[in-house]
A and B are shown apart, each in its own frame.
Chain A
Amino acid sequence: MPPLLQASGLTKIYGSTSALQSLSFELESGITGLLGPNGAGKSTAMKLFLGLIKPTSGSAEVMGEKPYESVEIRSRLGYMPEHDCLPSAVTASEFLTHMAQISGLPPSHARTRAADVLRHVGLDEERYRSIGEYSTGMQQRVKLAQALVHDPVLVLLDEPTAGLDPAGREEMLLLIQRTGSEFGITIILSSHLMGDVERTCDRVIVLDEGRVTEDGDVANFTRETQSIQIDVDDHRSELVEALSNRGIEAIIDGASLVVELGADEEYDTIRDAIVETDARLRRLAPRRHQLTDIFMGDTQ
């Protein structure tokens, strides 16, 4: 049985510009983050997976079929674009029913699916209001709902938290996690926000200038390091000095202190230094790698 999504040497060249070079990976399930700065090739990759553009060389296959050649396979794909894409004059219920039919569902099934999916994205009560009256957060939910309404096997989300306030972003990320874990739908999430990918994805593919620079499980990138992170509310410089007097070098990293761990006894020494300086301790824990480290070349 072919993989759900398979990219083999996927390359796209526009004139003299290489937008994507030899992208190869397979995808079966879970949430995969496509991470990279603007112009890294994320949108080009999404368009190739959706069959909107033809690859210069290589291939992208969904369930063994090439979306560029077989438009029918697109009835099993969902897509949430980054930009606005909703009609303002119709209700969410009518819009989703129509989109379900455009994906091939018969009218009666389309109506049922529209109601179900709107309930799942939390718009049950609002479904008979015109989309133009919705807040940005509600419109993002409608965008996600239209990508799910035909129950696709693979959903591509392009910058799903763009334009949302912190609370809206939080809700959207939770919804994406639920979609991937509870609904069992495979997701590709394209983002330039590492926090979004770290929060939601199982796997990350990092693109830069059209090339894959990293590919692996998010858990591997965020595994524990040999460092201890100390967060205190005050007396930070006194604490650094107290640690230094005890032979431990602490490095200031943003709002935290980082100490390279030697023997386990060093925990006791750090504790004593904190007690001595009367610093209010908020956190003392092994430090984890962050996805930002990928870009800093610090994943070892």
Chain B
Amino acid sequence: MTQPQGEVFDLGYQRYDGPREGRMRARKALWTNGIRTALGISRGARSKIMPILFFGVVMTPAVIVILMASVLGLTEDLWGRGEYFAWIILPIILFSAIIAPELLCPDRRDRVLHLYLVRPLTTDDYVIGRWLAFFTISLILVYAGQLVLFLGFTLAADEPFQYLQDNWLDVPRFMAVGFLIAAFTTTIPLAVASFTPRKAYAAGFVIALFVVSSAAAAILTECDDENRDGGEPSGECEPLTGENAKWFDLINVGFVPIAVGDLIFDEKDKSPLDVRLYDTRGGEWIVVSWYLFLVLGPALLLLYKYRRVEI
């Protein structure tokens, strides 16, 4: 007969006398949880599909360009830094529209928010924690492709150190533009998500906002061939709305952070966007101010909405 090797004791309820890190730990936990939620970590496989898919979509153009650069030996003028952002802005907006509401809507729908707010957190802590979580993911998304491009071009160059010396300024520039894009694509979807507990409504509204604003701006600034200089497709364009077209460009909200990015990269001429306001005196400042309005306005709205939450 075997002898018992051990015994199981019920220790009963143990009081906790370990460290308590207060509000700062609560904020960190909210940030970490927001990142895990957005990336589908510790959730089913379906939650991970979207983040992986969008990461792939965002990285593909950078990888293709680098492959071309290394195979064909092209390093200069293959692609402007700002052009890469112009290519990826659409998938980033789609990613934000679909994923960002995941950070706010379920907490209100399931009323988990009540449990947060009876702990050492204020509504501002909650909103800022969630905002920072999605902002972090957006930053990774926008920086990853640029890093691949920069490192790829550097390694593909005949003289990598010379390339670095000539182009080091691109790094702070793409970091600054990436910051602005991430702030933009984080704030608007989260502000929209603060109005509904349903993720699908929030995602649908954000996508519609960008699609409709883009279409409206395209119609209002349309340039028929008849209006082109000499009727030639490449001729100077006179939009149907004439001089006012430069203002109607601003209706296309998705283009605003790219337009500001072109200013930072000093690539106004390379930009795929035709920003007519740049030809106007002080036009740059108008575009920058419009960007600030589009980010700060929803940010304040987001904070205000949560301060009004009834528990």
Q: Check if B18 sits within 8 Å of A103, measured CB to CB.
A: no
Answer whether residue A72 sits at the interface, using C-beta atoms and an 8 A cutoff: yes
Q: How far is the CA of A75 from the CA of B244 in the complex (A)?
A: 57
Residue of B at shortest CB range from A50?
B118
Closest CB in chain A relative to B185 CB, distance in Å? 24
Partner of B25 from A105, A120, A151, A184 at Cβ < 8 Å: A105
Residue of A at shortest CB range from B115?
A85
Answer whether residue B29 sits at the interface, using C-beta atoms and an 8 A cutoff: yes
Q: Check if A87 sits within 8 Å of B112, measured CB to CB.
A: yes
Answer whether residue A28 sits at the interface, using C-beta atoms and an 8 A cutoff: no
Query: Which A residues are in CB contact (< 8 Å) with B15?
Result: 151, 184
Q: How far is the CA of A189 from the CA of B42 in the complex (A)?
A: 34
Residue of B at shortest CB range from A75?
B120
Answer whether residue A253 sits at the interface, using C-beta atoms and an 8 A cutoff: no
Query: Which A residues are in CB contact (< 8 Å) with B311?
Result: 47, 52
Q: How far is the CA of A90 from the CA of B18 in the complex (A)?
A: 26
Answer whether residue B12 sits at the interface, using C-beta atoms and an 8 A cutoff: yes
Partner of B20 from A84, A90, A104 at Cβ < 8 Å: A104
Query: Which B residues are in CB contact (< 8 Å) with A47?
Result: 311
Query: Which B residues are in CB contact (< 8 Å) with A104?
Result: 20-23, 25-26, 120
Answer whether residue B278 sits at the interface, using C-beta atoms and an 8 A cutoff: no
Answer whether residue A199 sits at the interface, using C-beta atoms and an 8 A cutoff: no
Known: A104-B25, A105-B21. A74 touches B119 (CB 8 A): yes
Partner of A71 from B12, B29, B33, B120 at Cβ < 8 Å: B120
Residue of B at shortest CB range from A86?
B110
Q: How far is the CA of A146 from the CA of B15 in the complex (A)?
A: 15
Q: How far is the CA of A183 from the CA of B26 in the complex (A)?
A: 25
Answer whether residue A257 sits at the interface, using C-beta atoms and an 8 A cutoff: no
Answer whether residue B307 sits at the interface, using C-beta atoms and an 8 A cutoff: no
Q: How far is the CA of A25 from the CA of B213 in the complex (A)?
A: 59
Answer whether residue A182 sits at the interface, using C-beta atoms and an 8 A cutoff: yes
Answer whether residue A223 sits at the interface, using C-beta atoms and an 8 A cutoff: no
Answer whether residue A273 sits at the interface, using C-beta atoms and an 8 A cutoff: no
Query: Which B residues are in CB contact (< 8 Å) with A98?
Result: 29, 33
Interface digits, A97-127 against B, CB 8 Å rule (1 contact, 0 not)? Answer: 0110111111001000100100010000000
In the complex, which range does the number of interface residues on chain B fall in? 35 or more
Partner of A101 from B26, B107, B122 at Cβ < 8 Å: B26
Closest CB in chain A relative to B51 CB, distance in Å? 15
Query: Which B residues are in CB contact (< 8 Å) with A89?
Result: 43-44, 47, 106
Q: Check if A103 sits within 8 Å of B111, measured CB to CB.
A: no
In the complex, which range does the number of interface residues on chain A fall in? 35 or more
Q: How far is the CA of A91 from the CA of B22 in the complex (A)?
A: 24
Interface digits, A198-236 against B, CB 8 Å rule (1 contact, 0 not)? Answer: 000000000000000000000000000000000000000
Q: How far is the CA of A249 from the CA of B33 in the complex (A)?
A: 69
Closest CB in chain A relative to B58 CB, distance in Å? 26
Which residues of chain B in 217-239 are interfacial with respect to chain A, using CB atoms and an 8 Å cutoff? none
Answer whether residue B117 sits at the interface, using C-beta atoms and an 8 A cutoff: yes
- Specify which of B26, B116, B117 lies most central, judged by the most chain A CB atoms within 10 Å of its CB: B26
Q: Check if A71 sits within 8 Å of B23, measured CB to CB.
A: yes
Closest CB in chain B relative to A184 CB, distance in Å? 8
Closest CB in chain B relative to A151 CB, distance in Å? 4
Interface digits, A117-159 against B, CB 8 Å rule (1 contact, 0 not)? Answer: 0001000000000000000000000000010001100000000
Q: Check if B118 sits within 8 Å of A52, measured CB to CB.
A: yes
Answer whether residue A77 sits at the interface, using C-beta atoms and an 8 A cutoff: yes
Q: Check if B26 sits within 8 Å of A102, measured CB to CB.
A: yes
Known: A94-B42, A103-B26. A85 touches B110 (CB 8 A): yes
Closest CB in chain B relative to A274 CB, distance in Å? 47
The contact sample of 9 A-B pairs, CB cut-off 8 A, is A74-B119, A75-B26, A83-B114, A84-B110, A85-B110, A87-B112, A89-B44, A102-B29, A109-B16
- Residues of B participating in the A interface, judged by any CB pair closer than 8 Å: 12-16, 18-23, 25-26, 28-30, 33, 42-44, 47, 106-107, 110-112, 114-122, 311
